[in-house]
């Protein structure tokens, strides 16, 4: 297994190109199942999860073709053709490895009138239930049956009637599944207390480009007038706000100055405002965001929340950055119950963090020391990279496959701005 080795202490300086967003790509790809015409997605990040999702689409009978991208380019163009779906089942083997697989449930149901998808179970960051996905689909008219770890959803008469659902808590995934299922329902559907994440807006925009009718995009009430059919489209994936925020934290902790090329500040208000509170200087430019570290980072009090709040996917990276702030910070994780698995690893590098229930107090230290570390999830792994960039000596981060799920060419991007970082194979 590969590992990433960092010799810390170099301030990051230069331009970092921001890739297409993983969390958007993985909700745009299943839209291809809604039409028999080709869907072309541009700016798809080169990530293990995107490859995995392509594989799932292939198993369902869709073809995936990567077009004219050179190895040195960031991002790819993929055309997905789901002329006919030969299967309506997402198997356990794929779903358990990639949570986003659950997002084929709504589209397969809408297209075929029946879908069978493995229940995902929990994962390293906590229990990740799908009860709201199922309740929303039921409200749109689906009939559900659970057996042997799978859910089978059927549309009576082969097509969902549509309906009204109010989410009791904001759920990104359940909003996405319901939106895709409602797009071709017979009637009108209304989703209340829907998630408003930029990735949901990206999904709505693609669906509209495919012929869907959606009112209230970007608000908590989405009204979808079902269409008889959707058509193909060409669409570019939005920039990855979490990747951009991660590199901003890396620049801030190393005393660096970077330009995040392609990042969209409109999607990153909570992250940018937290960085500014920590003393980071932010310069909004056309097509990029400038990040300059202060001499001393100020401590923060942050609590994760659905958009437009502070994203759970940024919590670990901010925690790493705040290990070197001048004072005590308080972080509270409200979305996932087990998203502090990076704490013991950061502690091995000299961080002073005390977790109590959902909150963590991070007392800034003068220096971090490099160490061999490993993490159990994607953003936790990134927090160790961030700490390693600022630590004295060598940090070796193992289980690199977590990073490969969500950061396109991490070590290339960081080397280009002055980090001493390399990927080593085990052999
Ligand atoms: C609101 C929120 O921040 N969502 C994050 C969540 O999306 P993801 O779609 O994975 O999770 P949800 O948004 O659905 O979960 C939000 C909350 O709702 C609960 N829940 C969810 C579905 C369900 O059927 N029943 C239920 O109770 C979850 O346990 C969680 O506490 O993880 C992604 C990966 O880290 C992030 O990109 C999303 O920003
Ligand atoms: C946890 C994440 O993703 P996933 O839902 O794909 O596990 C993430 O993007 O931080």
pLDDT digits (tens, 9 = 90+) for 299-327: 999 999 999 999 999 999 999 999 999 99
Closest atom of ligand 2 to 378 CA is 10
Last residue of a domain, one of 172, 203, 236: 236
The answer, yes or no, to whether residue 1 has pLDDT greater than 90, is no
Q: Identify whether the C-beta of residue 385 lies closer than 8 Å to the C-beta of residue 342.
A: no
pLDDT value at residue 68:
65
First to last CA, the chain: 8
The yes-or-no verdict on residue 427 having pLDDT over 60 is no
Where among 236, 252, 285 does a domain terminate?
A: 236
Mean pLDDT, residues 339-348 taken together: 96
Q: What three-state secondary structure class fits 50?
A: helix
Asked if residue 302 and residue 209 are part of one domain, the reply reads: no
Confidence bin at 375 (pLDDT 50/70/90) = confident
Q: Name the percent of the chain lying above pLDDT 70.
A: 99
H or E stretch covering 22: helix 22-28
Residue 287 belongs to domain with CATH number: 3.65.10.10
Is the Cβ–Cβ distance between 26 and 67 less than 8 Å? Answer: no
User: Quick check: 377 pLDDT over 70?
Assistant: yes
pLDDT tier, 70 (very low <50, low <70, confident <90, very high otherwise): confident
* 356 beta partners: 359
Which of ligand 1's atoms lies nearest the C-alpha of 172? 13
Q: Which pLDDT does position 39 carry in this prediction?
A: 98
Which residues, other chains included, contact 45 with Cβ-Cβ below 8 Å and sequence gap of 6+? 19, 20, 21, 22, 25, 74, 75, 76, 237, 240, 408
- Calculate mean pLDDT across residues 273-301: 98
Output the CA angle 255-261-263, nearest 5 degrees. 95
Shared domain check, 281 and 182: no
Alpha helices in 29-183 (DSSP H): 48-59, 92-95, 105-112, 131-139, 172-182
- Residue-range definition of the domain harbouring residue 230: 22-236
- Helix ranges (H only) for 161-218 are 172-182, 198-209
* CA 406–ligand 2 middle distance (angstroms): 8
State the chain's mean pLDDT as an integer: 96
Q: Is 45 in the pocket of ligand 2 (CB under 6 A)?
A: no
Report which of 341, 397, 28, 420 is spatially closest to residue 207, judged by C-alpha positions. Answer: 28
353 plus 417 within the same structural domain: yes
Residues 12 and 38 reside in one and the same domain: no
Spatial separation of the C-alpha atoms in residues 284 and 378, rounded to whole Å: 28
The reply to whether 219 and 265 lie within a common domain is no
The C-alpha angle 140, 222, 154, rounded to 5 degrees, equals 15
Whether 100 is in the pocket of ligand 2, judged by its Cβ within 6 Å, is yes
Nearest ligand 2 atom to the CA of 377 is: 1
Is the peptide bond between 311 and the residue preceding it cis, with omega within 30 degrees of 0?
A: no
Residues 247 and 179 reside in one and the same domain: no
Return the ligand number nearest the Cα of 376. Answer: 2
C-beta of residue 196 within 8 angstroms of C-beta of residue 218:
yes
Distance CA 11, CA 39 (A): 42
Q: Are 121 and 137 spatial neighbours (Cβ–Cβ below 8 Å)?
A: no
CB 250 within 8 Å of CB 257:
no
Is residue 10 domain-shared with residue 37, that is, in the same domain?
Answer: no
221 and 75 within one domain: yes
Alpha carbons 141 and 164: distance in angstroms, whole number = 10
Whether residue 229 is found in the same domain as residue 243: no
* Owner of token pair 């079902």: 226
Q: Is 379 in the pocket of ligand 2 (CB under 6 A)?
A: yes
Domains held by the chain: number: 2
At 125 the three-state DSSP class reads: coil
Q: Give the pair of three-digit tokens for residue 149.
A: 């770890």
Residue 121 CA to ligand 2 centre (angstroms): 14
Same domain for 314 and 185, yes or no, is no
pLDDT exceeds 70 at position 281: yes
Token pair of 342 as six digits: 């990076």
Per-residue pLDDT tens digits for 208-246: 999 999 999 999 999 999 999 999 999 999 999 999 999
d(CA 189, CA 182): 6
- Extract the tokens encoding 380: 């936790």
Residues 138-157: tens digit of each pLDDT: 999 999 999 999 999 999 99
Q: Tell me the mean pLDDT in the region 376-392.
A: 97
Q: Is the pLDDT of residue 121 over 90?
A: no
Chosen domain end from 216, 236, 256? 236
Would you say the CB of residue 408 lies under 6 angstroms from ligand 1?
A: no
* 120 Cβ below 6 A of ligand 2: no
Please name the residue ranges forming H helices in 96-197.
105-112, 131-139, 172-182
Q: What is the mean pLDDT of residues 245-251?
A: 98
Question: According to the model, what pLDDT value does residue 264 have?
Answer: 97
Nearest to 263 by CA among 282, 235, 238: 238
- The answer to whether 426 and 23 have CB atoms below 8 angstroms apart is no
The predicted-structure confidence for 409-422, as pLDDT tens digits, reads as follows 999 999 999 999 99
Q: Are both 64 and 200 inside the same structural domain? A: yes
- Interface ipTM: 0.98
358 and 379 part of one domain: yes
Q: Is the CB of 312 under 6 A from ligand 1?
A: yes
Q: How far is CA 119 from the centre of its chain?
A: 20
- What residue numbers does the annotated binding site cover? 22-23, 99, 128-132, 313, 335
Q: Which of 31, 123, 204, 249 is catalytic?
A: 123
Predicted confidence (pLDDT) at residue 178 exceeds the cutoff of 90: yes
Helix (H, G, I), strand (E, B) or coil at 347: helix
59-79 burial: b if 16+ Cβ within 10 Å, else e: bbebebeeeeeeeeebbbbbb
The three-class DSSP label of residue 150 is: strand
pLDDT-based confidence at residue 398 (cuts at 50, 70, 90): very high
CA-to-CA distance for 61 and 416, rounded, in angstroms? 40
123 part of the active site: yes
Residue located nearest, by CA, to atom 16 of ligand 1: 171
């Amino acid at each position: 297994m590969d590992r990433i080795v960092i010799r810390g202490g170099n301030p990051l300086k230069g331009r970092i190109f921001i890739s297409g967003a993983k969390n958007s790509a993985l909700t745009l790809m299943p839209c291809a199942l809604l039409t028999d015409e080709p869907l072309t997605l541009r700016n798809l990040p080169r990530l293990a999860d995107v490859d995995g999702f392509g594989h799932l689409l292939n198993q369902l009978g869709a073809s995936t073709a990567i077009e004219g991208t050179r190895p040195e380019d960031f991002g790819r163009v993929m055309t997905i053709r789901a002329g006919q779906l030969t299967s309506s089942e997402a198997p356990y083997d794929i779903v358990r490895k990639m949570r986003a697989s659950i997002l084929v449930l709504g589209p397969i149901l809408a297209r075929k009138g029946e879908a069978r998808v493995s229940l995902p179970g929990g994962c390293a960051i906590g229990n990740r239930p799908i009860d709201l996905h199922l309740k929303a689909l039921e409200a749109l008219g689906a009939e559900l049956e659970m057996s042997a770890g799978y859910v089978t959803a059927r549309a009576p008469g082969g097509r969902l009637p549509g309906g009204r659902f109010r989410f009791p808590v904001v759920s990104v995934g359940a909003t996405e599944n319901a939106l895709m299922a409602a797009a071709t329902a017979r009637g009108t559907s209304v989703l209340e207390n829907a998630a408003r994440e930029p990735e949901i807006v990206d999904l709505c925009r693609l669906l509209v480009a495919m012929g869907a009718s959606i009112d209230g995009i970007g608000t908590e009430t989405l009204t979808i007038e079902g269409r008889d059919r959707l058509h193909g489209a060409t669409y570019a994936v939005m920039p990855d706000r979490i990747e951009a925020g991660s590199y901003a934290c890396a620049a801030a902790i190393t005393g660096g100055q970077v330009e995040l090329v392609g990042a969209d500040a409109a999607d990153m208000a909570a992250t940018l405002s937290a960085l500014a509170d920590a003393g980071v200087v932010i310069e909004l430019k056309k097509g990029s965001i400038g990040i300059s570290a202060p001499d001393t980072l100020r401590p923060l009090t942050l609590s994760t929340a659905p958009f437009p709040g502070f994203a759970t996917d940024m919590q670990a990276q901010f925690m790493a950055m705040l290990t070197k702030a001048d004072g005590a910070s308080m972080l509270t994780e409200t979305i996932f119950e087990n998203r502090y698995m990076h704490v013991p690893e950061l502690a091995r590098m000299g961080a002073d963090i005390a977790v109590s229930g959902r909150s963590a107090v991070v007392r800034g230290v003068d220096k971090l020391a490099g160490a061999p570390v490993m993490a159990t999830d994607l953003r936790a792994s990134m927090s160790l990279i961030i700490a390693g960039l600022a630590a004295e000596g060598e940090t070796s981060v193992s289980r690199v496959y977590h990073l490969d799920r969500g950061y396109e060419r991490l070590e290339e991007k960081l080397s280009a701005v002055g980090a001493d970082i390399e990927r080593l194979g085990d052999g």
